[in-house]
Amino acid sequence: MPGRAPTDRKRAGLGVLFAASGIWFLAKFLRYAFPPLFPELRALYGVSNGVLGAAFTAMLLVYALLQFPAGVVADRLGPARVVAAGVAVTGAAALLLSVPVPLSVLVAGMVLV
């Protein structure tokens, strides 16, 4: 019998669904974890809420501006490759944000998340 059994396909489909859901959750979590951290970041870096708000705005602006180009690239290269590249960049940025870094590196990591 060629191909996989229907139950194998269902399991594979569920695996993809759970992986995509986990990636989506982490992306949203990383994006919206910053505002509650503003008091600590303000004290750590000695900056105002305005500076942190501008960094947060830059992060969301880059996210918004890359939506259309990401779709075009996904149409050309395939969605799996684009999602994998996005996960790799976001994962690297998240790791970067998990250690003490200068403010400029923090902002760069925020923009990449």
Q: Is residue 12 part of a domain?
A: no
Q: Is residue 100 part of a domain?
A: yes
Structural domain boundaries, residue 74 = 27-112
Number of domains in the chain: 1
Going by C-alpha positions, the residue among 36, 16, 22 that lies closest to residue 90 is: 22
Q: Is residue 62 part of a domain?
A: yes
pLDDT tens sequence across 13-61: 788 888 888 888 888 888 888 899 999 999 999 999 999 999 999 999 9
Q: Is residue 4 part of a domain?
A: no
The pLDDT of residue 52 is 94
Prediction pTM value? 0.76
Is residue 6 predicted with pLDDT exceeding 70?
no
Q: Is residue 18 part of a domain?
A: no
